[in-house]
Amino acid sequence: MLRFTNVDHKPTRLPPVYGYRTHPLLPLRQALEPVLPHIIELDEFIQIAKTECHFPSEHGLTREESAAIYIYTMDWGEQSLYRVLNGLLRITDRTVLVPWHNYLKLFNSALKKLPSYQKNLWRGVNVDISKNFKKGEELTWWNITSSSTSVDVVKQFLGQSSTLFLIEAKNGKLISAYSNFPEENEVILGLGTRVRVVSDALDSSSLNVVHLMELLGENDEKLPSTLPTMNIDTSTNTQTEVSMNVEDSTFKVHIYEDDSRYEGEWKNQKRHEKGTFYYANGNTYTGDWVDDKRAGEGIFTCPNGDRYKKSCS
């Protein structure tokens, strides 16, 4: 999917986008009315989005808000809404975005209702641009940034001499339930997302990984990354691992065949000490592990955000 690989080859400083914030919330078709003459068959795609979107929404999105996300994820070629919009968001002259303000207001309103997603995300590009991202550099993204929770989803769109971005997200918005492509586990980072380049985490002949950390406030600028040094298995196996040595144990991100994921410490090829397990059904468990089993006290978190303490022996 082009959204995962549509990356600026060099960091570019652009004016902020904020004019849409004062606009009223409008139905999707009315919000996109100024754009209708410029995108062929857009009216038809709006109808498809309103019919196929996820509604009722467990997150309180209206049908119009849900359809705003759905149409963003639809792909009908060069004139796909997300391609046209992100192209305009890369233009310095912000007046080109005026016809899009009502849609950006509706889209942003929908994202705000989704819970924040604080996990490691992936996106990439088919060329080696890792040298353009310097350690310690801070960037502000004024486009809509798509990423995936699954490194395998992104890797399938990459070829030789590619660059993979690992993003430690703090305010991502998981839209898989609202997407035309739910299997891609897409997470959106909204307009104005700030990131810091932690390091060029991996440099190989075929794949380069640039490590980024999202910043939410001034205090974040002093926080260290939780993944200072990594290795990634770039093969096409059904299981994917990213690992980091920590004294006599290893921090590892291990993805299972059912898309469950463990992020935490390993020892002797087993989950051991602190770690978080992300179940395929959306539940998570954070706590202690001993010899691949939960031990001591931990916290279960449900997809709706409810949290429960659990004691394991």
CATH 3.90.176.10 for the 2-221 domain, yes or no: yes
**Which two tokens mark 97?**
């975005």
- 240-246 vs 193-203, strand pairing mode: unpaired
- Burial class, 13, CB count within 10 angstroms (exposed 0-12 / middle 13-18 / buried 19+): exposed
Using a 10 angstrom Cβ sphere, with 0-12 exposed, 13-18 middle and 19 or more buried, the burial of residue 180 is middle
3-27 pLDDT tens trace = 655 666 566 788 999 999 999 999 9
Span 80-136, pLDDT tens digits:
999 999 999 999 999 999 999 999 999 999 999 999 998 899 888 878 878 888 889
Q: Where are the domains of the chain?
A: 2-221, 239-312
185-224: pLDDT as tens digits: 899 999 999 999 987 555 555 567 888 999 987 555 555 5
Res 147: pLDDT:
92
Look at residue 53 in the predicted model and tell me its pLDDT: 98
| 3-state secondary structure at position 222 | helix
Q: Tell me which CATH code domain 239-312 carries.
A: 3.30.1120
This prediction has a pTM of: 0.70
Calculate what percentage of the chain has a pLDDT beyond 90.
Answer: 47
Question: Whole-angstrom distance between the N-terminal and C-terminal Cα of the chain?
Answer: 44
Between CA 188 and CA 208 the distance in angstroms is: 22
Strand order in the sheet with 138-141: 138-141, 193-203, 207-215, 162-168, 120-125, 145-148, 186-189, 173-174
